[in-house]
């Protein structure tokens, strides 16, 4: 019981101190707008909102979740406030789940903003919402745990930001958003299959406009596998480098 009380207190503390700050709230709203505008500008004609929706959702989650978590964890470690959390009556894995849940929620909200806006501009009938929400959740989880992996691999905030871009920008162009994976050069296609966002985008494409490349169960399984691997590696790294 004490462990779950500590979990909620840590989560509420992070939401209050980081995620519910006015700059972050406004940034979470503006960021999906910026991605939508980018898709408009790259097209010579008015784009199909439903067609670009998976890309806007996926990129909003990726940048929102990784940016927030990589910076906050690194900052707390640098200021030694993270060490005080280790004294709480909670196991390390549950502690890190508490620290990451806020970023997951932030990423999901980022994805839902363009969906809300799309309701007023296009017909969204026929979408498999159960599959879409499942894909949004798993993209948020993998993006958050990628941010966790980055934060435990560096010691400075600027290093976390630089390291995040090292992963994120190649993912944008290799995950099938701009160029379908099967249309990429043969030498790059294996890299696409090693990127979790590829499978998240494919889930959204399949559920929103039926153009997925992989069977849905494979994409869900791969994303769950990536999430577990990133989380276990990160918590193991914390035990080795931060505790012992």
Residue 183, Cβ neighbours under 10 Å: how many? Answer: 8
Q: What is the pLDDT of residues 150-194, one digit of tens each?
A: 888 777 766 777 777 788 888 888 888 777 888 888 888 888 899
Q: What is the pLDDT of residues 59-109, one digit of tens each?
A: 888 888 887 777 777 777 777 777 777 777 778 888 888 888 888 988 898
Residue 147, both tokens = 């941010």
Residue 185, both tokens = 């050069």
What percent of the chain has a predicted confidence (pLDDT) above 70?
84
Give the pLDDT score at 29: 63
Give the pLDDT score at 39: 63
pLDDT exceeds 70 at position 47: no
The position carrying tokens 């806006």 is 117
Give the pLDDT score at 43: 55
Model confidence band, residue 209 (pLDDT cutoffs 50, 70, 90):
confident
Give the pLDDT score at 73: 77
Give the pLDDT score at 210: 81
The position carrying tokens 């501009």 is 121
In whole angstroms, give the CA distance from residue 236 to residue 239.
5
Task: Specify the pTM.
Answer: 0.88
Give the pLDDT score at 10: 78
- Spell out the domain ranges in the chain: 2-243
The segment with the largest mean pLDDT, out of 18-27, 68-77, 110-119, is 110-119
Q: What is the DSSP string of 33-58?
A: HHHHHHHHHT-SS---HHHHHHHHHH
Report CA-CA distances (Å) from 112 to 3, 62, 67, 116: 31, 13, 18, 6
Higher pLDDT, 209 or 216: 216
């Amino acid at each position: 019981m004490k462990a779950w009380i500590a979990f909620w207190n840590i989560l509420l503390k992070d939401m209050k101190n980081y995620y519910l700050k006015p700059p972050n709230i406004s940034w979470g709203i503006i960021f999906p707008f910026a991605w939508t505008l980018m898709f408009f500008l790259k097209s010579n004609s008015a784009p199909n909102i439903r067609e670009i929706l998976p890309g806007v959702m996926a990129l909003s989650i990726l940048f929102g979740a990784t940016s927030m978590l990589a910076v906050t964890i690194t900052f707390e470690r640098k200021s030694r406030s993270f060490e005080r959390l280790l004294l709480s009556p909670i196991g390390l894995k549950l502690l890190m789940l508490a620290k990451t849940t806020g970023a997951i929620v932030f990423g999901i909200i980022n994805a839902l903003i363009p969906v809300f806006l799309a309701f007023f501009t296009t017909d969204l009938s026929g979408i498999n919402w159960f599959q879409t929400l499942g894909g949004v959740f798993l993209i948020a989880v993998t993006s958050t745990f990628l941010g966790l992996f980055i934060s435990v691999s560096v010691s400075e905030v600027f290093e976390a930001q630089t390291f995040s871009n090292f992963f994120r920008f190649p993912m944008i162009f290799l995950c099938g958003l701009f160029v379908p994976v099967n249309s990429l050069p043969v030498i790059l296609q294996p890299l696409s299959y090693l990127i979790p966002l590829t499978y998240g985008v494919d889930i959204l494409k399949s559920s929103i406009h039926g153009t997925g490349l992989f069977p849905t169960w494979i994409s869900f399984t791969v994303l769950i596998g990536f999430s577990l691997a990133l989380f276990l590696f990160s918590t193991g790294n914390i035990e080795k480098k931060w505790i012992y």
